Structure formats: C-alpha cells, structure tokens
C-alpha cells in the first residue's frame, strides 16, 4: 500500500476517485488514503497535485524524468557529460533520471517496491 495524503484542495476530488474504485480505497486517517501499489499508476494526476506520498511530496511525471529521446537544447556544457540528469540521480533499476535524490527515492518506492 502507498499512503497518499491529498492536498486540501484536492481532498474532495481524491475522495471521489477513491470511492469510485472497486474495491473502495481504505482511508488511513481522516486525510490519508491507502492506495494499492498496482492502482497508484492510474490515480488521476490532477487529484495528486500537492499530495504527500509515503511522506514525500508528489512529483508530477514529466518534471524530473529525463527522456533520452527529448530534443536537447543546444548547450555546450562539458560538465554535463557522464551525468544524464545533470546534477541529479539515476534509477539503477530502469535508468530514469531525476533532478534530485529525493525524487529518485520516491520513484523507487513507487516503481520498484520490491527492489
């Protein structure tokens, strides 16, 4: 289970989504939900905005991950060589890059709970 504490502004929307699931999501507390790991990827992104996931701030996809196919800006920064995510961290399970070690940690908990 992943513990999700939606932002106050998203709590109603999240709760509406949670009770629409089958089976319904359990609540951990008045403001926290237990989301099965397999269900987490389908949680609507807009109800997760500002949420706290397992104690870490939710990071929307697309912000931190580094797409190898994305067009690179024409930079001439030699320091970036050998560091896919610039100053960040790379998941050694799937190779995704993150702008921060915390982002990587959150990703690993969510994407590779068994790792």
Residues lying near Zn ion in the complex (CB under 5 A) are found at: 91, 93-94, 111
| Number of neighbouring beta carbons within 10 Å of residue 11 | 16
Contact between 29 and 15 under an 8 Å Cβ cutoff? The reply is no
For the CB of residue 102, give the shortest distance to Zn ion in the complex, in Å.
14
Smaller CB separation from Zn ion, 14 or 98: 98
For the CB of residue 111, give the shortest distance to Zn ion in the complex, in Å.
5
Which secondary structure element, helix H or strand E, spans residue 28, and what is its range? strand 26-29
For the CB of residue 104, give the shortest distance to Zn ion in the complex, in Å.
8
**The dihedral sign for the CA sequence 90, 93, 95, 99:** negative
Smaller CB separation from Zn ion, 50 or 88: 88
Smaller CB separation from Zn ion, 64 or 91: 91
At 56, phi and psi to the nearest 5?
Answer: -115, 145
């Amino acid at each position: 289970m992943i513990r999700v504490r939606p932002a106050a502004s998203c709590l109603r929307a999240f709760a509406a989504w949670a009770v629409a699931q089958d089976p319904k999501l359990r609540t951990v507390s008045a403001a926290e939900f237990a989301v099965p790991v397999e269900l987490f990827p389908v949680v609507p992104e807009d109800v997760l905005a500002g949420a706290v996931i397992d104690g870490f701030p939710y990071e929307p996809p697309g912000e931190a991950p580094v797409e190898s196919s994305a067009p690179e800006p024409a930079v001439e920064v030699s320091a970036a060589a050998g560091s896919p995510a610039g100053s960040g961290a790379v998941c050694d399970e799937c190779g995704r890059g993150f702008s921060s070690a915390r982002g990587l940690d959150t990703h690993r908990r969510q994407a590779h709970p068994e790792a």
